[in-house]
Structure 1
Amino acid sequence: MKTFLIRSLIGIFFGAFVAIAITICIIYFGGIKQLEGEMFLRNSLGSIFCGWFFSVSPLYFEIDSLKLPTQTALHFITVAACYFVLSLGIGWIPFSFPTILLILGLFLIVYSIIWLCFYLYFKKEAKKLNAEL
């Protein structure tokens, strides 16, 4: 429970940081003088929620009773469902079938690359620890 709370706080703070950083970039580089309050609030809360579920969902990988394919499947389903429901609801992704398929394909590619990088990193760390033993 302590790990869940710590990761929740980290995710919420990171999501808020990303929301503010993006807003500053839009104002500074986009030359926008005014922001619509409702849109800012909606996008900021969406970013905070994304930060939360992306930081909490890796806890699946700490459940030792689950095998890696099950952990990965649960993590992917959780992250994909939360992200697509949120992004379609907020308007980050336009609600059209070709666009949703394109974003889903990009999501799969990015998820696979990130998963592979983490897998290779932890495999290397395990090999190093075994060599030290």
Structure 2
Amino acid sequence: MKTFLFRSMIGIFFGAFISIVITFLAIYFGGYETLDSGVFMKNSAGAIFCGWLFTVSPLYFENHNLTLPQQTGLHFFTTIIPYFILATSIGWIPFNVKSVLFGIGLFIIIYAIIWTCFYLYFKNLLKKLNDELKHI
């Protein structure tokens, strides 16, 4: 529970930070002199929720009672379903078949790249630790 709460706080703060950075970039590069407060609040709340979701959901990978395919499947569906509900309701992804399918495809590609990078990183770390243990 302590880990969940710590990660929740980190995710909320990270999501808020990303929201502010995107707002600054939109003002600076987009040429906006004023912002619609409703849109700002909606997008900020969405970024905060995504920050929380993407920092808490990897806790599946710390549950050693589940196999790696189970952990990956639970994590994938726990992230993709709430994200797409949020993204389509806020307007980040237009609610039409072409946009949603493109968004899902892009999400799957990015998810596979990130998952593979983490897998290879931890596999390499495990190899190094095992090599060090052999030399003791």
1:17 equivalent in structure 2: 17
In the alignment, what sits opposite 1:61? Answer: 61
Name the residue aligned to 1:124. 124
Report the counterpart of residue 52 of structure 2 in structure 1: 52
SS of alignment partner, residue 92 of structure 2: coil
Structure 1, unaligned runs of 5 or more: none
1:35 aligns to what SS in structure 2?
coil
What is the rounded CA distance, in whole Å, between the counterparts of 1:43 and 1:98 in structure 2? 22
Indicate the residue corresponding to 1:29 in structure 2. 29
TM-score, scaled relative to structure 2: 0.97
Amino acid at match of 2:14: F
The residue aligned with 1:73 is 73
Amino acid at match of 1:57: S
Q: After TM superposition, give the deviation of residue 82 of structure 1 in Å.
A: 1.1
> Is residue 112 of structure 2 the alignment partner of residue 112 of structure 1?
yes
Q: Residue 42 of structure 1 corresponds to which residue in structure 2?
A: 42
Counterpart AA for 2:36? E
Distance 2:57 2:64 in 1: 15
Structure 1 runs of 4+ with >6 Å offset: none
After the TM superposition, which residues 64-103 of structure 1 pair with which residues of structure 2 at under 5 Å, given as runs?
64-103=64-103
**Cα separation, 2, equivalents of 1:99 and 1:45:** 22
Once the two structures are TM-superposed, the CA of residue 20 in structure 1 deviates from its matched residue by 0.2
Count residues in correspondence. Answer: 133
Give how far 1:64 is off: 0.3
Alpha-carbon distance, 1:66 to partner: 0.2
Could you tell me which runs of 5 or more consecutive residues in structure 2 were left unpaired when the two chains were aligned: none
Residue identity over aligned pairs, in percent, reads 61
SS at match of 1:131: helix
Q: TM-score, normalised by structure 1?
A: 0.99
Partner secondary structure for residue 116 of structure 1: helix
